Amino acid sequence: MNNKYFYRSLLLIYATVFSFLCKAQKTIDEKVDSVLKLMTLDEKVGQMNQYNGDWDATGPITPQGDKQNQIRKGMVGSMLNVTGVEHTVELQKIAMQSRMKIPLLFGQDIIHGYRTTFPIPLAEAASWDLEAIKSSARIAATEAAASGVHWTFAPMVDIARDPRWGRVMEGAGEDPYLGSLIATARVKGFQGKGLGNTDALMACAKHFAAYGAAIGGRDYNSVDMSLLTLWNIYLPPFKAAAEAGAATFMNSFNTLNGIPATGNKYLQTDILKDKWRFKGFIVSDWNSIGEMIPHGFAKDNYDAALKAVTAGNDMDMESRSYIQNLAKLVKDGKVSIQRIDDAVRRILKKKFELGLFDDPYKFSDKKREQQQWNNKQNLQAEKIMAEKSIVLLKNEPFPSGRAGMGILPLNKNNLKGKTIALIGPFIKSIRDNLGFWSYTWPDDSERIISIWEAIKNKVGNSTNLLYAKGCNIDDTSHEGFAEAIKAAMEADVVIMSVGEAANWSGEAKSRSNIHLPGVQKELIKAIYATGKPIVVMINAGRPLIFNWTADHIPSIVYAWWLGTEAGDAIADVLFGDYNPSAKLPMSFPRAEGQIPIYYNYFNTGRPAKNDSDLNYVSAYIDLPNSPKFPFGYGLSYTTFSYSDIKLNSTILRPGKALTASVVITNSGKYDGKETVQLYIRDMVGSVVRPVKELKGFQQIFLKAGESKTITFKITTDDLKFYNDKLIYNYEPGDFKIFIGTNSEDVKEAGFTLQK
């Protein structure tokens, strides 16, 4: 075939495929329209109405009418918290008795797994492993979809700079770049090969927008922020989720600069639907439409429904404002039927895409549910994800330990015939390692093994294990201390597990004091005083403050809430079967007074030269500016050394790329994985730019002694930001580039971007 023919045939194929795709697309749109045409106004409003099921609740319950009867009348488009084949089939059957027979959508908070609980999202973010995060969402979707769920209210992509806010556990931390990549991974993971596959869940990017910046870290509180911060920091992960094809968005409880997000046209219509061309639908948060009344933004439910729907909110979760008022609002001429049709079209389209019109019971499959129920591979994947999420914060020589080395990893052989004391309220607990937003199953106690059991399995009978709880998580009593001290005294090594209970971080779980609860710090001190080699593990849903522990205990592991396989994953890390590789996705403060704390701050006109500089600079007289552990921080059992940065040029021109390389050497004794991080600083901008911004990272595995060159390519795309006119572009000038093992420990170089 000559070239001309070849290109012509190619063109023909493209044209055919394109017209086929258009047709397929059109068919769904046409189908939606054909249904819409037959619907009464009340039925349309019904599609925009979502109720909670009768089995579980994730918010304050509104007194209900007869839900089943309403479903039968076509007054309900979706239900949440209805799971399991039996329940979903039961309600779907009722929906099939309605005049239009429009199937119900079942939504649920599948935040970090369903049958298999994965690490909390913040912990997963610490892995910086996008493929693993995507697989975790994939497995969660597969399990939930087999139980009749169509739609997860995840991922939460709120940027969080305030660890007092309990919901930091649900997101990817403080950074917009990492947060955007993780948002994409999670959306793709949940939605799999596309809606319509029986293992795909619709994703829901939430909470739109800026919810993570609730003043004082107090949940549901107001948010006040500049548009610059909104666009440069808080919106990017949402944009990424929309671009990744998230089927739905959820708005948020907070006001943003005086306007509740739920009634915010700028956010929902101007940005999301118009500028970003989002074609899915927006669901309110739980009663967030009704909450515009106490906000002082709506007079009553009629007014609230009016404000929400005209702002772009398509579905009402649990406030009943739509079902009670929308039809009247249309009849009163306050809301156009076009707006209602637009919302209903968006909702019906997703139902068609899911294939529910062809088979409303498609996702409720007893056999599939059973298979997923007992899927051992999912547990295996969970364990790997948990291992990747564990952060080694410290591993220094213990006074009586081996010279120059930390206690970790523990050596099973050396511990033969010796004694380990396992102390702390988490050692034998099960639920606490699952964390908030996890599900309880009747066989949990057989299926989930504690840290105690996992370590017992790991060391076998040849090592003696002692256990003492020491105290409860939020105890005020020291009663258990004596027993714990005795166990420590009899042991050769002590492993302690302390932290926050599973319901201490999560929705409505803000804390003003984020230190270790109860008397746990005192317990650590008491055990430390025995002089025994000691490892402290911290389980929590947020960055906690534990300065004394950080300053005194030589080996510290941050184990978050790691899910179903937490016990085994922790044992693997402690005994060196997995070499820790995770890096903090949030800065860890020294005190609550530093909050909000984040690495990508502005320099100010009086930057402190260092942590002790107090000479009329921007600093605290009683606290360093720096965090206790910085963003991107995390150790390995091995060490990595970084060469200086080599740039191929110190000049970058638009349209061209610059490369920055470093040689990384595994200079320690163990094989290990490193996350090499690239940060950039724009030295002078039309608006001030952060001192550092993460712009890339690469994960490499190096054998002990091995070296590798890592190269980052930098183009003007990496230098763009929203300026004061909210135009996204780069500005010529000088830039600094940093490559390192965390946001503070970096090598530095510079280049100039020319016009």
Active site residues: 285
CB of 44 to ligand BGC, least distance (A): 23
Which residue's CB is nearer to ligand BGC, number 200 or number 250? 250
What does the alpha-carbon distance between residue 110 and residue 141 come to, in Å, rounded to a whole number? 8
Rg (CA), the chain: 27
Find, among 263, 339, 234, 73, the residue nearest to 598 by Cα: 234
Residues 6+ positions from 99 with CB-CB distance below 8 Å = 43, 74
Write down the least CB distance from residue 84 to ligand BGC, Å: 17
SS3 state of residue 12: helix
Name the minimum Å distance from CB 292 to ligand BGC: 15
Residue 7 makes CB contacts below 8 A (sequence gap 6+) with: none
Altogether, the residues listed in the chain come to a count of: 755
CA distances to 69, 464, 465, 466, 533 from 490, in Å: 66, 10, 10, 9, 12
Q: Which segments of 312-464 does DSSP mark as H helices, in order?
A: 321-331, 337-354, 366-373, 376-389, 444-447, 451-459
State the Cα–Cα distance between residues 349 and 12, nearest whole angstrom: 30
Q: Which amino acid is residue 574, in one-letter code?
A: L
Closest approach of ligand BGC to the CB of residue 153, in Å: 3
Residue 114 or 153 having the CB closest to ligand BGC: 153
The least CB distance from residue 141 to ligand BGC, in Å, is: 16
Phi, psi of 507 (to 5 degrees): -65, 140
Q: How far separated are the first and last CA of the chain, in Å rounded? A: 46
Whole-angstrom distance, CA of residue 106 vs CA of residue 85: 11
Question: In whole angstroms, how close is the CB of 251 to ligand BGC at the nearest point?
Answer: 10
> CB-hemisphere CA count at 13 Å for 537?
27
Scanning the structure block, which residue is given the tokens 């779980």? 509
Nearest Cα to Cα of residue 721 among 731, 736, 734: 731
Closest separation between CB of residue 123 and ligand BGC, Å?
18
Question: What residues are paired with 680 via a beta bridge?
Answer: 693, 737
As to burial, measured by CB atoms within 10 angstroms (0-12 exposed, 13-18 middle, 19+ buried), residue 428 is middle
Q: Are 250 and 282 in contact (CB under 8 A)?
A: yes
Comparison of 80 and 487: residue with beta carbon closer to ligand BGC: 80
Tokens 């969660």: give the residue: 140
CA 20 → CA 24, 26, 294, distances in Å?
6, 10, 51
> Closer CB to ligand BGC, residue 58 or residue 661?
58
By C-beta, is 251 or 463 nearer to ligand BGC?
A: 251
Cis peptide before 155 (omega within 30 of 0): yes
H-type helices in 413-565, by residue range?
Answer: 444-447, 451-459, 481-490, 520-528, 547-552
Q: Which is nearer to ligand BGC, 272 or 619 (CB)?
A: 272
CA distance 639 to 581: 11
In the numeric block, the tokens 């009593």 are attached to: 477
Distance CA 213, CA 177 (A): 17
Q: Which residues bind ligand BGC (CB under 6 A)?
A: 58-59, 80, 109, 153, 206, 285-286, 507
Rounded Cα gap, residues 348 and 357, in angstroms: 9
**258 Cβ contact list (under 8 Å, min separation 6):** 224
Please say which residue, 280 or 424, places its beta carbon nearer to ligand BGC.
280
Q: Tell me the C-alpha distance between 684 and 754, whole Å.
A: 13
Which residue has 């709506």 as its token pair?
Answer: 298
Return the DSSP state at 318: S
Taking the least distance from each CB to ligand BGC, the nearer of 508 and 529 is 508
Q: Which two tokens stand for residue 710?
A: 């890592």
- In terms of CB distance, is 287 or 364 closer to ligand BGC? 287
CA–CA–CA angle 399, 405, 410 (5° rounding): 95
The owner of tokens 């001190």 is 525
